[in-house]
Amino acid sequence: MDINTILDKLGGLGNIDTVNNCMTRLRFKVKTESKVNEDELAAIDGVLGVVHDTPCRYEIVVGPGKSRKYADMCHEMGIASAGEQVTTASDDWKANKESVKNGQKKSKIRDLLKIFGEIFVPLIPGTIVAGICSGVAMLIAQLCPGYTDVLPLNLIYQLLTVINVSFMTYIAAWSGYRAAERFGATPILGGMLGLITSLDNVNTIAMALGLYNENSPLDSVLHSGKGGVLAAVLGVYILSIVEKKIRKHMPDSMDIIFTPLLSMFICLIPYLFIMMPVVGYISNGICWCFGQICMSEYAIVRAIAGFLGATLFLPLVATGMHHGLVALYTVQLEQIGYVTLYPALAMAGAGQVGAAIAIYIKAKKYGNERMLNVIRGALPAGFLGVGEPLIYGVTLPMGRPFITAGIGAGFGGALVMLFSVASTTWGPSGILGVFVMTAGPQGAVKSILIYVLGLIISYIAGGIITYFAIQPSHVMPAKIEAPEANQIAHGDMLFAVGADKGIFYKVRDKDGIHARPAARLVDLAAGFDSKITMSANDKEAEITSVIGLMTLNVKCGTVLNIKAEGNDSERALMAFNEFLNDNL
């Protein structure tokens, strides 16, 4: 895979506005969406998936390590990072035009989660390093209570601790800096506002105004750290608005001095006395709510919460919305020192591993080498907690295993939350997650053992459920060659022979098969007493769910092969041929 190939399918270097990356994805913002060839982009060898749920923004899954390497290459070519873009009114109306033209539905919740993801995802390397160091330090303290008397062990413990503290002490500052980049404020001002949140001077100010409770500092109306990262993000958002308005009227010769000075002074008072207290109570409320669920005194509540969390996490990952949860993780880590929800969600990847192993066993039985090669390449990353290769390469394209993997993961999620396992950070999962699952009431060693047991349960449950859920037809290699172009032009029906009886159809609709025609196809299939399947782009799906059909990625010009097995198979094929000719 070559970065130039990716850029070419995105419309060329001149069509790229910005690029940044997370652990496994390149995140591009393009200027003109119509220049992007999404089908050819997804077909590039090495591209594991393409997420396009916001106008002019594309997330390309390339895997760990590669995402950062390719992002650096793009920056060397002159493409700005997300915090460096310069937008114009022309760019705005072009993006809006593309949005209206594509008729994409917007979700305020999804957009908000995406904003939090863009702010906090770049902080993940720091949280991982700090969390692992904290986890290992906890293990040392628990396994060797007298470590302070052993110089080498004490030195290691102190080094691990200082690394953890270096991140956690200033997490609001890092968040403020990133929020300023996202909202278009001056980054250093955002960092300063975030840093103010955690300074002891805040306590001095609170004492002078009678807002500080010396007997119970955490119950104070205002105290150092109140509101944390959420207050920093909201404060920087206001700062960005104020700074832009001041700069608009400030003479150029005075801008560098007075714009940042006035922006900070205007924002600081409401930030200290309104945002920090209000957001502080909100943050406490969020932690309390999740504490009542994840750390509930009722075991059944914890188990159900863990099951549902792990089961529903994969759809969030598939759409890229899981990064929005980073804000919640950060609040918990800052408020209580550990994360309660993440260990259960980490089971989702293990469920996928089990599902992939089950698919591998069946695919090997029927000699599907193409599928075997995909699974061989994706499984090692899956064991290490990187789930995207399995999502986009195996389970999501097949449809049903994507669901069964989540259900299997739910059993592991129920176990780890039942025993209140907590993590010192988020990010590492799978086998690598062992080093951070050291918090919670069970103690570091027991928490790790329960986490490992949860992984094993998720592997087994995901594998067993998937093995019995998928049919031989789901893993059989494609045997039917598409007929000649003149035989399928304009949707002419063609019956194959023998066991491969079916029809071929060349899609003419410019939008291909999207949600509405997919739903109508499912309804049509439900009226027959036959098993009806659709094949396209070397993939096959039974016509029983909209999601299954959408994973076939049917576009204008795609050749479909529809087969039916059952008592009324020929009547079903005739009905499908008529429907396709009339609608697609």
Confidence class of residue 331 from pLDDT cuts 50, 70 and 90?
Answer: confident
> Which has more pLDDT, 351 or 108?
351
Instruction: Look up residue 35 and give its DSSP letter.
Output: G
> Which has more pLDDT, 320 or 508?
508
CATH 3.30.1360.60 segments of the chain: 3-106
Q: Per-residue b/e over 262-280, b at no fewer than 16 CB within 10 Å?
A: ebbebbeeebbbebbbebb
CATH 3.30.1340.10 segments of the chain: 485-583
Q: Averaging pLDDT over each range in 7-16, 140-149, 219-228, 402-411, which range is the top one? A: 402-411
Between CA 192 and CA 173 the distance in angstroms is 6
Within its chain, how far is the Cα of 341 from the centroid?
A: 15
Structure tokens at 408: 């299997």
For the chain, the 3-state helix, strand and coil shares in percent, each to the nearest 5, are 65, 10, 25
Q: What is the pLDDT of residue 358?
A: 94
Q: 3-106 — its CATH code? A: 3.30.1360.60
Does 85 score more than 50 pLDDT?
no
Beta strands at 539-542 and 559-566: parallel, antiparallel or unpaired: unpaired
Side-chain-facing half-sphere of 581: CA atoms under 13 Å: 15
What sign results for the dihedral spanned by CA atoms 243, 244, 245, 247?
positive
Does 190 score more than 90 pLDDT?
yes
- Smallest CA-to-CA distance from 60 within 91, 27, 100, 83 is with 27
Give the model confidence (pLDDT) of 445-466 as tens digits.
899 999 999 999 999 999 999 9
Confidence class of residue 319 from pLDDT cuts 50, 70 and 90?
Answer: low
**DSSP-derived 3-state class of residue 53:** strand
Between CA 355 and CA 223 the distance in angstroms is 49
Q: What is the pLDDT of residue 321?
A: 63
Helix crossing, 151-168 with 124-143: angle to 10°? 150
Q: 485-583 — its CATH code? A: 3.30.1340.10
Q: What is the pLDDT of residue 409?
A: 95
> Which has more pLDDT, 582 or 265?
265
- Provide the percentage of residues in the chain whose pLDDT is more than 70: 88
Q: What is the pLDDT of residue 84?
A: 47
Confidence class of residue 189 from pLDDT cuts 50, 70 and 90?
Answer: very high
Give the model confidence (pLDDT) of 101-130 as tens digits.
444 455 566 677 677 777 877 787 887 788
CB contact at 8 A, 540 and 502? no
Between CA 349 and CA 96 the distance in angstroms is 36
What mean pLDDT is predicted for residues 379-388? 81
- Provide the percentage of residues in the chain whose pLDDT is more than 90: 25
Give the model confidence (pLDDT) of 29-49 as tens digits.
898 888 898 888 888 877 877
CB contact at 8 A, 150 and 355? no
Q: Averaging pLDDT over each range in 91-105, 243-257, 506-520, which range is the top one? A: 243-257
Q: Report the 10 Å Cβ neighbour count for 452.
A: 15
Q: Averaging pLDDT over each range in 246-250, 538-542, 548-552, which range is the top one? A: 246-250
- Which of 13-22, 306-315, 323-332, 458-467 is predicted least confidently? 323-332
User: pTM value?
Assistant: 0.60
What sign results for the dihedral spanned by CA atoms 486, 488, 493, 495?
positive
Backbone angles phi, psi at 493, to 5 degrees: -80, 140
Between CA 138 and CA 381 the distance in angstroms is 27
Q: What is the pLDDT of residue 98?
A: 43
**DSSP-derived 3-state class of residue 429:** coil
The Cα-based distances of 205 to 20, 193, 200, 213, 263 in angstroms read: 39, 16, 9, 12, 20
Q: Report the 10 Å Cβ neighbour count for 444.
A: 21
Between CA 26 and CA 58 the distance in angstroms is 8
Does 238 score more than 90 pLDDT?
yes
- Tell me which of 22, 74, 133, 267 is the catalytic residue: 22
Q: What is the pLDDT of residue 82?
A: 64
The Cα-based distances of 66 to 22, 24, 63 in angstroms read: 10, 7, 6
Between CA 65 and CA 1 the distance in angstroms is 14
CB contact at 8 A, 513 and 521? yes
What mean pLDDT is predicted for residues 217-242? 89
Structure tokens at 191: 């960092």
Q: What is the pLDDT of residue 494?
A: 41
Q: What is the pLDDT of residue 487?
A: 42
Q: What is the pLDDT of residue 307?
A: 95
- Ramachandran area for residue 481 (φ above 0: left; ψ -120 to 50: alpha; else beta): beta
Between CA 284 and CA 527 the distance in angstroms is 53
The Cα-based distances of 476 to 15, 222, 369, 377 in angstroms read: 41, 64, 10, 19
**DSSP-derived 3-state class of residue 61:** strand
Taking every pair of Cα atoms in the chain, the longest distance, rounded to a whole number of angstroms, is: 89
What mean pLDDT is predicted for residues 239-261? 89
556 catalytic per annotation: no
Q: How many helices (H) and strands (E) does the chain have?
A: 27, 8
Averaged pLDDT of the chain: 81
CB contact at 8 A, 465 and 417? no
Give the model confidence (pLDDT) of 474-531 as tens digits.
776 644 344 443 343 333 444 433 334 577 777 877 778 877 788 888 888 887 878 8
Q: What is the pLDDT of residue 177?
A: 92
Does 390 score more than 90 pLDDT?
no
